[in-house]
Amino acid sequence: MSSIVIEPKRLRGEITLPPDKSISHRAIIIGSLACGKTQVKNLSVCEDCLRTIDAFRSMGVAITKSKGIFCIQGKGLNGLRKPGVKLYLGNSGTSMRLILGVLAGQRFSCELSGDASLSKRPMKRVTEPLSLMGAKIRGSDGAQFAPLTIRGGALRPICYETPVASAQVKSAVLLAGLYAEGATKVTEPAKSRDHTERMLKKFGADISVEGLLVCVKGRANLIAKVVDVPGDISSASFFLAGACISKGSQITVKSVGLNPTRTAFLKLLQQMGASISWKYQNSKMAGKGYNDEAKGEVRARCSPLKGPTIAPEQIPSLIDELPILMVAATQSEGETAIQGAGELRLKETDRIKAMVSNLTRMGADIRSCGDDIIIRGPSRLAGTTVDSFNDHRTAMSMVIAGLIARGRTTIKDIDCINISFPGFFDTLSRLVC
């Protein structure tokens, strides 16, 4: 795998970001289960989403691309066929967990596998509720780890309380609930991103949301729609945080997703004192309506920051942005306390260990205590050699750290960035000066 050398630079300019990965996964999945031709504009073609496309093609769904628009010829809820090969999902936890929900309702068996990293990630949080609904799932350690074999069939609705706030767990149960006779209900301990609920509503599912409770009624007839995927706010977070901590920096991100369950990162930066603002381009969708996704423009420029305290209940809405927030915290006045971030240990790598190790090497005052992270700043970072730990968000966070460090920073094994953001360095090159 390759490495890159980063030198101190500021960020200035205007960019658009690649399509939102989470929304793209759901467009492929729900479009495949709908009747008719779903057209998806601006679909993500990162490695993870391509795994989801390959999986549904293996189950008989025609997915083509013409003039930048993906066309998904949906087969309806019961139109999928048994794949001739096992479904290999690479590094994509979203693909595996959501597809398990779909397969729970199919009357055939199927094997799912992934790479070495995905095979270490916990799947019981999904296989357990799906088993309660009637799916038969086998895998190591009681269906905790891939490879997994699932035999679907007639499902029964359940009322399930998730042990952690997880959009992937919630989505898997809701997708399985489409195949159950009656109402399937999911309650979370905190609000996770709601892209599945919004898209199911758009496609005609009978779904309702009350606070932390989501209810879907089974056997709905999903109808094909046109989906326009906004830019990925999680991908934008690296550049936005970088602009806030790099002297002389000022950037604008256009047409980026501003789903209310995804803007906690922007609000936290504001609370830290960042000069950051955003406005909606489709104001009708900016509120609570469960239709299309809100999108807009975000502006950020360098400004002094103060370290925040991030409580455990905030973690689910910040989970993808926590690595780059750790970088920002090294440049913030005072103490940053990130509490109860254990979910970071269950990602593509142990992101707490990875970020503490890398930032310590660069001279940051950072330590972990269990699942809590304490950072004292501001620290003057120094260039050195750091490791991606084969994790895309760790890699991109360390690139931004390199932009504000003295000297040269070498980040090893950066090919993993293609998992979520194949054009990361092209976008970076348009901003650095």
- Which residues carry out catalysis? 320
Helices (H) and strands (E) counted in the chain, each on its own, are 13, 23
Handedness of CA 7, 426, 55, 232 (dihedral sign): positive
Q: What residues have CB less than 8 Å from 397, skipping those under 6 apart?
A: 238, 323, 324, 326, 327, 355
Residue type, 6: I
∠ CA 93-94-99 to the nearest 5 degrees? Answer: 105
Beta strands in 98-225 (DSSP E): 109-113, 136-139, 145-151, 159-161, 183-187, 206-210, 213-217
Residue found under tokens 């499902």: 155
Backbone angles phi, psi at 396, to 5 degrees: -65, -35
Residue type, 369: C
Backbone angles phi, psi at 174, to 5 degrees: -65, -40
CA distance 75 to 328: 46
Q: Provide the greatest CA pair distance for the chain.
A: 62
CA distance 114 to 89: 5
CA atoms lying within 13 Å on the CB side of residue 396: 30
Beta strands in 51-168 (DSSP E): 62-66, 69-75, 87-88, 109-113, 136-139, 145-151, 159-161
What separation in angstroms does the CA of 72 have from each of 18, 196, 346? 20, 17, 32
The residues pairing with 207 across neighbouring beta strands, listed in sequence order, are 216
Tell me the residue length of the chain: 433
